[in-house]
Amino acid sequence: MSDDPFVQLKSAQREGWALFAPLEAVTTMPAARLIRHARVRPGQRVLDVGCGTGVAAITAARAGATVSALDLSPVLIAHGRKHAELAQVDIDFREGDIEALPYEDAAFDVVTSQFGHMFAPRPEVAVAQMLRVLKPGGTIAFSTWPPEHFVGQMFALVGKHVPPPPGAAPPPQWGDPNVVRQRLGDAVTDIQFERDVMVYPTLSPQHYRKGIEETLGPVVKLVAALQSEPQKLAAFRAELDGFLARYFEDNLVRQHYLMTRATKR
Ligand SMILES: C[S@@+](CC[C@H](N)C(=O)[O-])C[C@H]1O[C@@H](n2cnc3c(N)ncnc32)[C@H](O)[C@@H]1O
């Protein structure tokens, strides 16, 4: 095992995210919103990073784009390949790391990420890679969970109980438009933001919590890490239930998110 903390983090992420497939039921709707926000057109070359089971990639391919898709998790990529076959689209799926994209410079017209690149620990590396593989005049577009809403608060809580390695940026920072502007910097023009809400149908806050303890990578890893510390695990669950109640209504958990689109100079 490497002693590089980022290599260790990604190895844990690869394992934790492998269980994400059931949550594609929730990310399918925002995938359509993101592909529309990115203004994907037939014939364009599109790359989706942190693709998971391929919800955004398949949506882009069905819109007529030529699509490549990359994720840390080979398990999720295997799901994606099956989805693509069923949807009768051709997608070049690859296992890989957003911080070291295995594509030529300026290879794509559009680079997207739906709740994916926000988990790369070094935002400056992720953004440099996404912009490197994008053509000048091409579109970078992504969806992220803001720090002030439910999912962002949940990740802050996870980070409090199981701190990431020093130097790793908290994922929800990518949901703050000011941070997004600063990270994209002068490399882009015409930054546009749009907000939306995705919903997670569930019978009770407790059902939701049990669901994400079994599917949502960082929460899966946290619960595993706290198995020998039941008091800390109980404290995490109580705190999560506390703010979860504010977002649960009509058998839905409401998850606000931010979409960004910008043009590479
Ligand atoms: C919240 S899931 C979103 C999956 C998919 N985009 C969707 O909307 O259904 C986050 C995804 O990012 C991937 N991921 C996290 N860090 C990554 C990295 N450094 N390189 C590639 N993929 C990464 C995870 O494996 C996981 O599939």
Domains defined along the chain, listed by start: 7-199+257-264 (3.40.50.150)
Q: Check pocket membership of 20 for ligand 1, CB cut-off 6 A.
A: yes
**Which two structure tokens, joined as six digits, stand for 36?**
């529309």
Q: Check pocket membership of 60 for ligand 1, CB cut-off 6 A.
A: no
Q: Check pocket membership of 54 for ligand 1, CB cut-off 6 A.
A: no
Separation of 231 CA from ligand 1 center, angstroms? 30
d(CA 178, CA 182): 6
pLDDT tens-place string over residues 222-238: 999 999 999 999 999 99
pLDDT tens-place string over residues 203-225: 999 999 999 999 999 999 999 99
pLDDT tens-place string over residues 117-174: 999 999 999 999 999 999 999 999 999 999 999 999 999 999 998 888 999 999 999 9
Question: For residue 163, what are the contacts with CB-CB under 8 A and spacing of at least 6?
Answer: none
| Ligand 1 pocket mutation pick from 17, 28, 129, 150 by most atoms within 8 angstroms of CB | 17
Band (pLDDT 50/70/90 cuts) for residue 243 is confident
Exposure string of 206-239, with b = 16+ CB inside 10 Å and e = fewer, is eebbebbbebbbbbbbbbeebeeeeeebeebbee
pLDDT tens-place string over residues 40-88: 999 999 999 999 999 999 999 999 999 999 999 999 999 999 999 999 9
Q: Whose CA is nearest to atom 13 of ligand 1?
A: 50
If you write DSSP's letter for every residue of 202-244 in order, what string do you get?
-SSHHHHHHHHHHH-HHHHHHHHHTTT-HHHHHHHHHHHHHHH
State yes or no: pLDDT of 2 exceeds 90. Answer: no
Q: Whose CA is nearest to atom 27 of ligand 1?
A: 52
Q: Check pocket membership of 97 for ligand 1, CB cut-off 6 A.
A: yes
In three-state secondary structure terms, 144 is strand
